[in-house]
Amino acid sequence: MRLILLGPPGAGKGTQAQQLVQRHGIVQLSTGDMLRAAVKAETPVGLKAKDIMAAGGLVPDEVVIGIISDRIEQPDAANGFILDGFPRTVPQAEALDRLLKSKGLALDAVVELRVNEGALLRRVETRIAEMKARGEPVRADDTPEVLSKRLESYRAQTEPLVDYYGERRKLATIDGMKSIDEVTQDIKRVLDALKDGAKAAKPRRKGAAASKPVAKVRAKAKAKSGKTGSKAKGRVAKKAGKKAAKTAKGKTARKAVKAKAAKKASKKVSRGKAVPAKKARKTTKSTAKKAKSAARKGSRGRSAAASGRVAASAKKVTKRRGKSPKRLTKRG
């Protein structure tokens, strides 16, 4: 499990980190501790950091990332880690994401302990008063003034990480104002939910028992298709033959119409009537259209044409019979 704890100074990150270390068997990685260990071990990155620190400068992000890269490859970090004090800025978070991706790793969660700054200042004041009452020395960096500056720095540099990890759906916010035990239980519930979700999303192993019914159904379907395959092929072949015959018939009919139109045009040319190309094409189209219409109408169209001719003949006969006979006049 790989985690980051976010929260302002005094939120209780160190206390909760120790609880997580014991429960999950992971290591807590503090940038300060890692820097000192790298310098002591005289690693290439540690020597570089030593020179910068000796000159009074701030160790750059790439050096810190290099130290983290070396540290998480050690055997005790195989089960995971909690980063303490890093990242502090969005650029550091981006560099950390690139580092983990290059190693085929990813963060499991970023837990934010949200607290009330006013309450933190009151806690410091109470603690200082109790220490003075017991006669204990007070650390110079453990005062309300120093805490106020550290809180201001947190708001400016580190708090934007809340939005950064929230957009990547890695953030879990816990109420840090509760008791230590209650905060511990809230963090436990969040991490347990993450584990359950990871198990549910894990793909099934190939060849598992759950896949046997599927294999049986596929085998049955394959056997059935083998029995009925010849019949299906026969139906498909028959359907394809009908379609091909219909297509061939249509092509033959169109060729016949075009040939008829061409023959008609040649007759006109032989009689001395030159037929322009445009008119010939028009005639061909007209003839084709008429042939198509006649084909649709069928015998009904032929019957209608015959009826028309009979009606015309009858009209002529009626007209001849209806004429008045010429009267013969006797010449005088």
Of the residues 40, 139, 216, 255, only one is catalytic, namely: 139
* Three-state DSSP state, 61: helix
Of the residues 36, 114, 123, 150, only one is catalytic, namely: 150
Residue 127 annotated as catalytic: yes
- What does R_g of the chain's alpha carbons equal in angstroms? 49
Listed in sequence order, the residues at least 6 apart from 159 whose beta carbon sits closer than 8 Å to its beta carbon are: none
Q: Can you name the residues that pair with 27 across neighbouring β-strands?
A: 81
Residue 159 tokens read as 């708090």
Residue 88 annotated as catalytic: yes
Of the residues 36, 88, 114, 178, only one is catalytic, namely: 88
- Would you say how long the chain is, in residues? 332
* Three-state DSSP state, 175: strand
DSSP labels for 15-62?
HHHHHHHHHHT-EEEEHHHHHHHHHHHT-HHHHHHHHHHHTTPPPPHH
Backbone angles phi, psi at 115, to 5 degrees: -135, 165
Of the residues 127, 238, 246, 249, only one is catalytic, namely: 127
Which of 213, 157, 170 shows the shortest CA–CA distance to 9? 157
| Other CB atoms within 10 Å distance of the CB of residue 128 | 16
Residue 150 annotated as catalytic: yes
Residue 233 annotated as catalytic: no
Active site residues: 13, 88, 127, 139, 150
